Amino acid sequence: MITLITARIRSRQPDIQLLKKLELGFKRYSTWKTRQGPILFAPRALSSRWYTLIHYLLKPVLKSYKIKGAVLSLGLPYRFYFFSKTFPYFSRDADMRVLWTYDVWQPDYPRVEKLVREGKINLLLLSSHQATEHFYKLKIPGCTVDWVPETINVEEYKYKPWNRRSIHVLSFGRGWQKYHDQIVEGCRENKINYLSQHASEDHDVAVHGLKKNLLFPGWTDFVNALADTQICICFPRSVTHPGLAGNVSTLTIRYLQAMASKCLILGTAPLDIAYLLNYNPVIEVDWSDPVGQIRNILDQPAQWQALVERNYLTVSRMFQYNNAVDQIDRLIKSQLEINEMSLTVNAFKYNSI
């Protein structure tokens, strides 16, 4: 038995809305039971700490009430968020505690390791191959580590025919100031409709709460804009913000969203791609003439349409919610079987003494 614990966080921030979509999608495509955590009231900094405190105060009592099978939490690998949004289910005993999460970057490794140990996570599933390798090598007692890449619901995205799209080049979410500076004037001079999110080397708009100046603050506006975009700029966070990401170069949902909207991706492919696909879904930047490269793509779109369609098929077949649900389901059930066999063997040894 697998029980998914869903969050009740009252917020319109894009990262929280994406988590809600993820939980609803996993619920839709699985046969798992679901239980809701407590409502995190505003301000969340206070409510998350309050429920974390309650978790520790009541844990000695609650742990005597065991949950059969596995309890699963998704996303937000931050101590106060984790213990508050999952209360009281991760405070109780269970056959297995599972966390699948994204946004685990190299500078965050010590913090996430502490959370895994403190939360007594038995199965840690990470969206980054490099982060998975790191935590696997730690050999945390009682914790198995595996890789489950990020995922989206392709059905939520739209696309227009290439010649009906009005945005030539779009850079959304975290941008890279270096590349922006290389193309912004050339795009203006060549009448290329280039829209970009404000970029900063010190702050990442995707995670730092800088939501006031987003290009598309509403979900519908964002989906419509992607459907209206021809070229989408995507760089790994390890390139745009190396101080925040360290060496982790992972396939984030920005790439998947662009693929699902049939945008042509221009930028740099993350290292995860080498382990996932037998081709490069990204057109690598030509630094010798970045504006000329964009002009060439816009002038000769036909030669790139095969890549656009291949990317769409790839995201539809490999990175849908149901793919992640099936993989997580197999990993949990396999680990539960291993644990059960181990208990049986230990019981046999004990009775043989």
pLDDT tens, 294-309? 999 999 999 999 999 9
Could you confirm whether domain 154-318 is CATH 3.20.20.120?
no
Q: How far is CA 28 from the centre of its chain?
A: 18
Say how far apart CA 199 and CA 177 lie, in whole Å. Answer: 6
* pLDDT given for residue 210 in this prediction: 38
Is the distance from CB of 311 to CB of 282 less than 8 angstroms?
Answer: no
Listed in order, strand segments (DSSP E) in the chain are 2-9, 33-40, 67-74, 94-101, 123-126, 144-147, 167-171, 194-196, 229-234, 264-267, 283-284
274 confidence band (pLDDT: 50, 70, 90): very high
| Strand arrangement of the beta sheet that strand 194-196 belongs to | 194-196, 167-171, 229-234, 264-267, 283-284
Q: Which CATH architecture has domain 2-151+320-352?
A: 3-Layer(aba) Sandwich (3.40)
Q: How many residues does the chain have?
A: 353
Burial class (CB in 10 A: 0-12, 13-18, 19+), 224: middle
Mind spelling out the 3-state secondary structure of 272-301?
CHHHHCCCCCCEECCCCCHHHHHHHHHHCH
Task: Say which residue the tokens 């945005």 belong to.
Answer: 167
> pLDDT of 167-219, one tens digit each?
999 998 778 999 999 999 999 999 999 999 765 555 555 544 334 556 777 88
* pLDDT given for residue 346 in this prediction: 53
Asked if pLDDT for residue 348 goes beyond 90, the answer is no
Percent of the chain with pLDDT over 90: 84
* pLDDT given for residue 300 in this prediction: 95
Give the residues across from 67 on adjacent strands: 94
Please give the average per-residue pLDDT across 141-153, as a whole number: 97
Say how far apart CA 274 and CA 279 lie, in whole Å. Answer: 8
Asked if pLDDT for residue 65 goes beyond 70, the answer is yes
Whole-number average pLDDT of the chain: 92
251 confidence band (pLDDT: 50, 70, 90): very high
Please give the average per-residue pLDDT across 67-86, as a whole number: 96
318 confidence band (pLDDT: 50, 70, 90): very high
| Range with lowest mean pLDDT among 25-39, 144-158, 171-185 | 171-185
* pLDDT given for residue 35 in this prediction: 97
Which among 83, 147, 70 has a CA at the least distance from the CA of 116?
Answer: 83
**Domain(s) of CATH 3.40.50.2000: residues in the chain:** 154-318
* pLDDT given for residue 199 in this prediction: 58
* pLDDT given for residue 98 in this prediction: 98
| Range with lowest mean pLDDT among 90-104, 113-127, 203-217, 239-253 | 203-217
Is the distance from CB of 87 to CB of 42 less than 8 angstroms?
Answer: no
The model's pTM: 0.92
